[in-house]
Amino acid sequence: MRMHRSIVGAAVAVLIVGACQGASSPAASPSSSAAASASAGGSPAGSAGTAVLRVARLADAYNFFHPVEFQTGNQFQWYNCIFDTLVKVQDDSKTLTDDLAKTWDVSPDASVYTFHLASGVKWQDGQPFTADDLIYTATWGAQNYDAYKGFLPVWNQLKGAAGVLHTSKPLPGLKKIDDSTVEMTLEAPNSLFLVQLTDAANVIVPQHLLKDVTAANVEKVDFTLGKPGATIGTGPYKLTAFTPDQSLELTANPDYFKGAPKIPKIIFKIFADPSLAVAQLESGDLDLAFRVPPSEFDRLSALPNLNVLSAANPGIVRIVFRTEEAPWSDKRVRQAFYYAINRQGIVDQYYKGRAKVLINPPGFKEYDDLDKYAFNVDKAKQLLSDAGYSGQTFKLMYDQTFPDAAQVMPLIQADLQNAGIKVELVPLDTATYGKNYGSRQGWDGFIAVGGSEALTPNKSEQYFPKDGKHESGYTNPRIYELWAAARSTPDAAKQDESYHELAKILNEDVPQVNLYSPNLVMVSTKRLDGGFKVHLNERETFMNVETWTLQ
**469-528: which residues touch another protein (CB under 8 A)?**
469-471
Instruction: Report whether 328 contacts 445 (CB < 8 A).
Output: yes
The distance of closest approach from Cβ of residue 486 to another protein in the complex, given in angstroms and rounded to an integer, is 19
Judged by CB under 8 A, the residue of 47, 178, 212, 245 near another protein is 245
Q: By C-beta, is 297 or 437 nearer to another protein?
A: 437
Judged by CB under 8 A, the residue of 273, 368, 369, 378 near another protein is 273
Candidates 246-254, 343-351, 492-500, 507-515: pick the segment binding another protein (CB under 8 A).
246-254
Among residues 224, 246, 228, the alpha carbon closest in space to that of 237 is found at: 228
Judged by CB under 8 A, the residue of 90, 247, 301, 307 near another protein is 247
* Binding track, positions 68-107, relative to another protein; x by CB under 8 A: ---x------------------------------------
Largest CA distance in the chain: 96
Q: State the CB neighbour count (10 A cutoff) for residue 108.
A: 10
Instruction: State the sign of the Cα–Cα–Cα–Cα dihedral 119, 124, 128, 134.
Output: negative
Instruction: Report whether 173 contacts 187 (CB < 8 A).
Output: yes
Candidates 109-117, 134-142, 467-475, 509-517: pick the segment binding another protein (CB under 8 A).
467-475
Candidates 129-137, 276-284, 495-503, 539-547: pick the segment binding another protein (CB under 8 A).
276-284
Element (H, E) at 102: strand 101-106
Q: By C-beta, is 33 or 392 nearer to another protein?
A: 33
Candidates 123-131, 253-261, 369-377, 426-434: pick the segment binding another protein (CB under 8 A).
426-434
Dist. CA 226–CA 212, nearest whole Å: 18
Question: φ, ψ for residue 108 (rounded to 5)?
Answer: -55, -30
Residues in the chain, overall count: 551
Angle between helices 492-509 and 331-340 (to 10 degrees): 90
Candidates 325-333, 384-392, 433-441, 491-499: pick the segment binding another protein (CB under 8 A).
433-441
Judged by CB under 8 A, the residue of 5, 120, 178, 477 near another protein is 5
The distance of closest approach from Cβ of residue 352 to another protein in the complex, given in angstroms and rounded to an integer, is 24
Among residues 45, 536, 521, 76, the alpha carbon closest in space to that of 306 is found at: 521
Q: For the chain, report the end-to-end CA distance as a whole number of angstroms.
A: 59
- The CA distances from residue 158 to 42, 145, 152, 483, 499, in Å, are 47, 12, 14, 18, 25
The residues near 198 (Cβ < 8 Å, ≥ 6 apart) are 85, 87, 88, 89, 96, 540, 543
**153 burial type by CB count under 10 A (0-12 exposed, 13-18 middle, 19+ buried):** buried
Count of residues engaged in binding another protein, rule: CB under 8 A: 76
40 is an interface residue for another protein by CB under 8 A: yes
Among residues 87, 114, 84, the alpha carbon closest in space to that of 98 is found at: 87
Q: By C-beta, is 242 or 373 nearer to another protein?
A: 242
Candidates 3-11, 116-124, 354-362, 376-384: pick the segment binding another protein (CB under 8 A).
3-11
Candidates 9-17, 131-139, 195-203, 515-523: pick the segment binding another protein (CB under 8 A).
9-17
Judged by CB under 8 A, the residue of 57, 66, 88, 269 near another protein is 269
- The CA distances from residue 60 to 195, 270, 415, in Å, are 25, 8, 33
The distance of closest approach from Cβ of residue 286 to another protein in the complex, given in angstroms and rounded to an integer, is 9
Q: By C-beta, is 285 or 497 nearer to another protein?
A: 285
Judged by CB under 8 A, the residue of 13, 38, 162, 414 near another protein is 38
52 is an interface residue for another protein by CB under 8 A: yes
Q: By C-beta, is 12 or 177 nearer to another protein?
A: 12
Q: By C-beta, is 170 or 450 nearer to another protein?
A: 450
Instruction: Report whether 411 contacts 346 (CB < 8 A).
Output: yes
Dist. CA 340–CA 395, nearest whole Å: 16
Rg, the chain, Cα only:
27
Q: By C-beta, is 188 or 279 nearer to another protein?
A: 279
Instruction: Report whether 514 contacts 326 (CB < 8 A).
Output: no
The distance of closest approach from Cβ of residue 251 to another protein in the complex, given in angstroms and rounded to an integer, is 12
434 is an interface residue for another protein by CB under 8 A: yes
- Per DSSP, the three-state class of 156 is helix
63 is an interface residue for another protein by CB under 8 A: yes
Candidates 269-277, 363-371, 408-416, 519-527: pick the segment binding another protein (CB under 8 A).
269-277
- The CA distances from residue 490 to 110, 153, 173, 312, in Å, are 6, 21, 20, 26
- The residues with which 241 forms a beta bridge, in sequence order, are 249
13 is an interface residue for another protein by CB under 8 A: no
Among residues 503, 479, 513, the alpha carbon closest in space to that of 367 is found at: 503
Judged by CB under 8 A, the residue of 95, 97, 217, 243 near another protein is 243
Candidates 13-21, 92-100, 173-181, 305-313: pick the segment binding another protein (CB under 8 A).
13-21
* Binding track, positions 147-186, relative to another protein; x by CB under 8 A: --xxxx----------------------------------
Judged by CB under 8 A, the residue of 126, 431, 477, 493 near another protein is 431
8 is an interface residue for another protein by CB under 8 A: yes
